[in-house]
Structure 1
Amino acid sequence: MKNKPSLSNRYVLVGDLILVVISVLGSYALRLELGPQFFDYLPSALWMIGLAFIIKPVVYYLFGLYQRIWIYASVEELKLIVAAVTAASVLLAGGMVVALSLGAFVGLPRSVLVIDWLLSLILVGGLRFSFRLMAESRGPAAILVTQPRRVLIVGAGDAGALVVREMQKNPQLNLQPIGFLDDNPAKQKQQIHGVPVIGTLSDLAQVLERQNVDEVVIAIPSAPGRVVRVIADIARLKGVPFRTMPGIYELLGGKVSVSRLREVDISDLLRREPLQVNEGIVGEALSGRVVLVTGAGGSIGRELCRQIARWGPKLLILLGHGENSIFETLLELRESFPTLNLQPIIADVRDRPRLEVVFNEFRPEVVFHTAAHKHVPLMEINIEEAITNNVLGTLNLVEVSLTYLVERFVFISTDKAIRPVNVYGATKRLAEMIVLNAAQRSGGRYSVVRFGNVLGSRGSVVPIFKRQIAQGGPITITHPDMKRYFMTIPEAAHLVLQVAGMGRGGDTYLLNMGQQIRILDLAEDLIRLSGLEPGRDIEIVFTGIRPGEKLSEDLWDEGVSLRVTDHPDIFRVEHQEVLEGEALYRVVTELIKLAREGERERIVALLDEVIPGSAIRSTPPPELTSVV
Structure 2
Amino acid sequence: MLSKISSHWRLLRTLAKNPKFWLVLCGDAVLVVLAHYLAYAIRFDSMLHGPVFGQFTGVLPLILAVKLPTFYLFGLYRGMWRYTSLNDIVHIALATVFSSALVILLLLFGAHFLGFSRSVFILDGIFTFGCISCHRMLIRFVCQRMANGAEGFRTAEPVEQKRLLLVGAGDAAARLLRELSENSRLPYKAVGLVDDDPGKTGMKLFNVPVLGMIEDIGEHARRARAQEILIATVIIDKAKMRRIVGLCQRTQLPFKVLPTMGELINGQVSIRTIRDISFKDLLGREEVRLEQDRIGRYLTGKTVLITGAGGSIGSELCRQLLRFSPALIVLFDASEENLYNVQMELRHEHEEVRSVAILGKVQDLRLLNAVFRQHRPAVVFHTAAYKHVPLVERNPWQAVYNNIFGTQLLMEAAIVHGAERFVLVSTDKAVRPTNVMGASKRVTELLMLAYNSSCWDGAFSPAWQRMQDEVPADMAPLVPSRHATRFMGVRFGNVLGSSGSVVPLFKRQIEKGGPVTVTHPEVTRYFMSAEEAAQLILQSGSMGEGGEIFILRMGEPVKIADMARELIRLTGREPDSEIEIRFVGLRAGEKLYEELITEGEGIVDTHHEKIMVLRGETMPSSSMLSGQLDHLAEQAHALDSRGIKETLRRIVPEYQPDFTV
Task: Report if TM-score (shorter chain) is over 0.5.
Answer: yes
Deviations 1:62-103 (A, max 9, x none): 6665565544322123234335555666777789899989xx
Change (3 A) 1:95 1:452: same
Would the aligned equivalents of 2:215 and 2:247 in 1 still touch at CA under 8 Å? no
Change (3 A) 1:139 1:38: same
Q: Secondary structure at the match of 1:613?
A: coil
Question: Is 1:470 aligned to residue 478 of structure 2?
Answer: no
Would the aligned equivalents of 1:297 and 1:325 in 2 still touch at CA under 8 Å? yes
Residue aligning to 1:39 = 50
Distance 1:248 1:254 in 2: 6
Would the aligned equivalents of 2:635 and 2:643 in 1 still touch at CA under 8 Å? yes
Question: Is 1:287 aligned to residue 328 of structure 2?
Answer: no
Distance 2:56 2:351 in 1: 51
Change (3 A) 1:283 1:69: closer
Q: Aligned letter for 1:177?
A: A
User: Which residues in structure 2 correspond to 1:449-528 (within 5 Å)?
Assistant: 449-528=490-569
Residue aligning to 1:418 = 431
User: Which residues in structure 2 correspond to 1:97-176 (within 5 Å)?
Assistant: 112-133=120-141, 145=158, 148-176=161-189
Distance 1:162 1:574 in 2: 46
Would the aligned equivalents of 1:320 and 1:346 in 2 still touch at CA under 8 Å? yes
Report how far residue 135 of structure 1 moved. 6.4
Distance 1:577 1:55 in 2: 71
Moved more, 318-327 or 262-271: 318-327
Q: Secondary structure at the match of 2:423?
A: strand
Distance 2:275 2:390 in 1: 33
Unaligned runs of 5+ in 1: 622-628
Residue aligning to 1:26 = 38
Would the aligned equivalents of 1:29 and 1:38 in 2 still touch at CA under 8 Å? no
Residue aligning to 2:83 = 72
Residue aligning to 1:624 = none
Q: Give the TM-score, by structure 1 length.
A: 0.86
Report how far residue 370 of structure 1 moved. 0.6
Change (3 A) 1:29 1:211: closer
Report how far residue 226 of structure 1 moved. 2.9
Change (3 A) 1:12 1:564: closer
Residue aligning to 1:273 = 286
Q: Aligned letter for 1:296?
A: A
Deviations 1:538-570 (A, max 9, x none): 333333332222222222223333322223332
Report how far residue 615 of structure 1 moved. 2.6
Moved more, 161-170 or 334-343: 334-343
Unaligned runs of 5+ in 2: 1-16, 457-483
Question: Is 1:369 aligned to residue 410 of structure 2?
Answer: no
Cα RMSD for the two superposed structures: 3.6
Would the aligned equivalents of 2:510 and 2:568 in 1 still touch at CA under 8 Å? yes
Change (3 A) 1:98 1:191: same
Distance 2:84 2:169 in 1: 23
Would the aligned equivalents of 1:222 and 1:274 in 2 still touch at CA under 8 Å? no
Question: Is 1:299 aligned to residue 312 of structure 2?
Answer: yes
Q: Secondary structure at the match of 2:411?
A: helix
Distance 1:33 1:214 in 2: 58
Residue aligning to 2:357 = 344
Residue aligning to 1:545 = 586
Distance 1:259 1:51 in 2: 49
Distance 2:96 2:412 in 1: 62
Q: Secondary structure at the match of 2:185?
A: helix
Deviations 1:251-292 (A, max 9, x none): 353311111111101111124123645445434443344332
Report how far residue 329 of structure 1 moved. 2.1
Distance 2:619 2:648 in 1: 13
Distance 2:443 2:515 in 1: 37
Residue aligning to 1:82 = 93
Distance 2:87 2:445 in 1: 50
Distance 1:428 1:252 in 2: 30
Q: Secondary structure at the match of 1:296?
A: coil
Match of 1:433 among 446, 451, 455: 446
Question: Is 1:589 aligned to residue 600 of structure 2?
Answer: no
Report how far residue 373 of structure 1 moved. 1.3
Residue aligning to 2:651 = 610
Deviations 1:153-201 (A, max 9, x none): 2233322221222222222224333444444576565543344444444
Change (3 A) 1:549 1:33: same
Q: Give the TM-score, by structure 2 length.
A: 0.82
Q: Aligned letter for 1:119?
A: F
Question: Is 1:313 aligned to residue 354 of structure 2?
Answer: no
Residue aligning to 2:344 = 331
Report how far residue 107 of structure 1 moved. 7.5
Change (3 A) 1:588 1:578: farther
Report how far residue 115 of structure 1 moved. 4.0
Distance 1:99 1:57 in 2: 20
Distance 2:410 2:79 in 1: 51
Would the aligned equivalents of 1:369 and 1:409 in 2 still touch at CA under 8 Å? yes
Q: Secondary structure at the match of 1:171?
A: coil
Distance 1:490 1:315 in 2: 21
Distance 1:518 1:114 in 2: 67
Distance 1:505 1:391 in 2: 20
Would the aligned equivalents of 1:139 and 1:171 in 2 still touch at CA under 8 Å? no
Report how far residue 136 of structure 1 moved. 6.9
Q: Secondary structure at the match of 2:445?
A: helix
Report how far residue 303 of structure 1 moved. 1.1
Q: Secondary structure at the match of 2:49?
A: helix
Match of 1:398 among 391, 411, 420: 411
Change (3 A) 1:334 1:75: farther
Change (3 A) 1:578 1:95: closer
Q: Aligned letter for 1:394?
A: T
Aligned residues: 612
Distance 2:400 2:377 in 1: 26
Q: Secondary structure at the match of 2:256?
A: strand
Q: Aligned letter for 1:121?
A: F
Q: Aligned letter for 1:82?
A: A
Moved more, 137-146 or 601-610: 137-146
Distance 1:148 1:444 in 2: 57
Would the aligned equivalents of 2:316 and 2:531 in 1 still touch at CA under 8 Å? yes
Report how far residue 420 of structure 1 moved. 2.2
Distance 1:184 1:447 in 2: 46
